[in-house]
Structure 1
Amino acid sequence: MISYNLLLLINVLLLLLSSLTKNKAFLYVALFTSLLFFGFRFEVGADWYNYVRKFYLADNLNYIDYLETSDFGFANISYLLHYIFGNYQSLVFLMSLLSLFGVYYLIGVQKASPAIFFLVAYPYLIVVVGPNYIRQGAAVGLLCLSFAFAFNKKNKSAMLAALFAILFHASAVVGFIILFFSMYRVNFKKVVYILIITLIGIVVLGPRIVSKLDFYVNDFSNQSTGIYFRIILYSIPFFLVLLNNKFFSRDDVESRVIKFSMLLFMVISGVSIINTVIADRLLIYTIPAQALLASRVVSDMKSTINALLVSMFIFIFSIVQLNSWLEYSLWAKIAWIPYNNVIILDLL
């Protein structure tokens, strides 16, 4: 538990220094520190051995057959790394790099508070999703990269990064939708109506849709026991918008990313009625918007005291969320604690 908390504190300090000094060198050091921590992790994550098994299927399968074992992008990279290095640790490092680089690149591009963004993203997106759902972690990283490109008006690069994200995990189409509606002006009220109708359709027709997706549903047959708790947690950053009266009057790409993520959050929360695991996985794509919103709310506060109070609340909440999961989650005790790192193990 100490190692995860220590990484959090180191990153917060480095990102605060980056913000105060306007020097991105501290941001790069923060990325490097996290990459050392997660990129060289060993036997960390509940799906660790499952991915190890899939990686070494390349010993017995030809290229075409191996592509059928996973999403196109992930399968290609996995097969290539197996051919070049023959070591699963190479895949762990590359997936961590894709995941973390995208998150930190977005932290550097967004104009608000880097430390607040990190505190919102760290307990679940960085600690849980990245090391465990490694395909989805890479997909979220690529989507963060696409958002950052869009903020800098690099629309072609943004679309390309989002499409690559889908190649790593098909569910990343949710992030692609957020990006598309944010980059290209669409009547916001019409989108609201469409999403409301979609939500009603999901609730009414959902069971029939699920019955036609036997493979996908059976693959996620175990229900997510923490989904409703996480829905409550995910809602908190969005409620922070109430502290920012100017938010809904803004119409820049970043604001639209947050707005459409809020709408999709409500729709996906409705999906939990049908299948909690599917909803749990899709809600992951709203975390970057939560972090962006919390960061912007704090930076927009005119009162320094209020900004400090809200920042302290987010800091304490992040630590409580992280340690509650590490302390009480069975999966955390099985697959995250103790933390192992190949560099440390080699030195020993």
Structure 2
Amino acid sequence: MIYVATYAGMMALRLLQLRAVYPVLLAALFLFSAFRYEVGCDWFGYENQYQVFGAATFPDLLSMNEPLWTAIVMLQVRLDLPYPWLNVISSAIFFWGAHRLAIRQPDKLGFLILLFPVLIINMPMSGIRQGAAIGLICMAFNAFSDRKLLRYLIYVIIAAGIHSSASIFLLLAPLVQGRLTRGRLFLSFLLAIPGGFALMGTDMAATATTRYIGTGIDSAGASYRIALLVMTALLFFTLLTRPWARTFPEDHKIVTIGSLMMLATVPALILSSVVGDRLGYYFIPIQTMILARIPHLPLRTGRGPLTAAPYLALLAVLTVWIVFSDLFAGCYLPYESWLLGLPG
């Protein structure tokens, strides 16, 4: 129950309003994620990538779907760093991006805590390649809020070089600058259609189709995670969007678009639970922004229960996941760290 105890302890810090501990907690979660040993469902899969990509040559990068990720592994091997350091590198990218987004929140401690039960455990502690890409997309969200198109594109392109699924955010580029109106949203949707077909024609899309669509491969817990995204999006559109626009106008646009894309994960889930789930993870930072800012919005009623509900709901989700999932037990238990040295 180390994971439940960790989350419960963080909830206590938030309840006591100990916001000054944020940098300590950030460092502790980084160490918890980066220096785990044989923990995470993808541990041995990435160990295999370390062996395969480590033997690649620089000309090989030109034919890779994720050349930056391959380059990271190649460089690590050439520096004679053992495989577990790959988790340190990917966790550093994730937590740096999460931190850059967190410090823009009125409650950065709450934001970081709410990331733990789903995003941190599943991404930098397992799917490390997408975890690194999500860290970069967090910085792209900041650039979007600042209306910095070039910076936004740079972060998205780098993220796509690590995990090609991040290229879907290139379709949001027409919305970075200017006000978000129904006309602009509709025009951007029309422009996204050829862009979507172009992405579907890439090797990345062909690989995803071959692996996940119509193959019977499912993502455990995908429907629950996407249900949480959908409920958050509906909460935003029904109760929070107008107070948000008045209180936090600078990032109302990205949160609105992110909430629309949360709803769009439902048809993706129907197509393939793996595809829907993979896309859904990118929107958890925006979901967490919404949930962590509830106490800072001028709501007429129900702010207290709405503030507590996300923390308690995620505690329940984490507990049920740990108690009833054999996959969790096989992937994450027992928790071990190599901070005191690599075993063997």
**TM-score between the two structures when normalised by the length of structure 2:** 0.83
**How far apart are 1:229 and its partner, in Å?**
2.4
The residue aligned with 1:216 is: 208
Alignment gaps of 5+ in structure 1 = none
Distance in 2 (CA, whole Å) between partners of 1:266 and 1:45 is 28
Distance in 2 (CA, whole Å) between partners of 1:162 and 1:209 is 19
**How far apart are 1:254 and its partner, in Å?**
1.3
Distance in 2 (CA, whole Å) between partners of 1:155 and 1:69 is 26
**How far apart are 1:177 and its partner, in Å?**
3.7
Note the alpha carbon deviations across 1:117-162, whole angstroms, 9 max, x for none: 2344222111112222111111111111222344456554343222
On the 8 A contact 1:95/1:138 being kept in 2, the answer is yes
**1:49–1:78 CA distance, 2 compared to 1 (3 A):** same
Distance in 1 (CA, whole Å) between partners of 2:83 and 2:56 is 16
Note the alpha carbon deviations across 1:289-320, whole angstroms, 9 max, x for none: 111111222211457x9433222222211111
The residue aligned with 1:131 is: 125
On the 8 A contact 1:15/1:30 being kept in 2, the answer is no
Distance in 2 (CA, whole Å) between partners of 1:297 and 1:196 is 33
Of 99, 104, 108, which aligns to 1:109? 104
**How far apart are 1:248 and its partner, in Å?**
6.9
Q: Runs (4+) of structure 1 moved beyond 6 Å?
A: 196-199
On the 8 A contact 1:243/1:297 being kept in 2, the answer is no
The residue aligned with 2:4 is: 5
Of 277, 285, 297, which aligns to 1:288? 285
Q: Note if 1:99 corresponds to 2:94.
A: yes
Distance in 1 (CA, whole Å) between partners of 2:302 and 2:285 is 23
The residue aligned with 2:262 is: 265
**How far apart are 1:7 and its partner, in Å?**
3.0
Distance in 1 (CA, whole Å) between partners of 2:187 and 2:44 is 44
**How far apart are 1:195 and its partner, in Å?**
4.7
User: What RMSD over aligned residues (CA atoms) do the two structures have, in Å?
Assistant: 3.4
Q: Which runs of structure 2 are paired with 1:294-309 in the superposition (5 Å)?
A: 294-301=291-298, 306-309=302-305
**1:246–1:60 CA distance, 2 compared to 1 (3 A):** closer
On the 8 A contact 1:73/1:168 being kept in 2, the answer is yes
The residue aligned with 1:163 is: 157
Q: Note if 1:227 corresponds to 2:219.
A: no
Q: Which stretch shows the higher mean deviation, 220-229 or 119-128?
A: 220-229
On the 8 A contact 1:54/1:69 being kept in 2, the answer is no
Note the alpha carbon deviations across 1:254-313, whole angstroms, 9 max, x for none: 11111111222222321222222111111111111111111222211457x943322222
Distance in 1 (CA, whole Å) between partners of 2:12 and 2:327 is 29
The residue aligned with 1:122 is: 116
Distance in 2 (CA, whole Å) between partners of 1:165 and 1:323 is 32
**How far apart are 1:54 and its partner, in Å?**
1.1
The residue aligned with 1:30 is: 25
Task: Say which SS state the counterpart of residue 109 (structure 1) adopts.
Answer: coil
Distance in 2 (CA, whole Å) between partners of 1:78 and 1:218 is 25
On the 8 A contact 2:55/2:74 being kept in 1, the answer is no
**1:224–1:253 CA distance, 2 compared to 1 (3 A):** same
User: How many residue pairs get matched?
Assistant: 334
**1:152–1:263 CA distance, 2 compared to 1 (3 A):** closer
Alignment gaps of 5+ in structure 2 = none
**1:310–1:125 CA distance, 2 compared to 1 (3 A):** same
Distance in 2 (CA, whole Å) between partners of 1:52 and 1:8 is 28
On the 8 A contact 2:144/2:254 being kept in 1, the answer is no
**1:79–1:73 CA distance, 2 compared to 1 (3 A):** same
The residue aligned with 1:278 is: 275
**TM-score between the two structures when normalised by the length of structure 1:** 0.82
Distance in 1 (CA, whole Å) between partners of 2:157 and 2:304 is 39
On the 8 A contact 2:233/2:260 being kept in 1, the answer is no
**1:45–1:270 CA distance, 2 compared to 1 (3 A):** same
Task: Say which SS state the counterpart of residue 88 (structure 1) adopts.
Answer: coil
Q: Note if 1:188 corresponds to 2:182.
A: yes
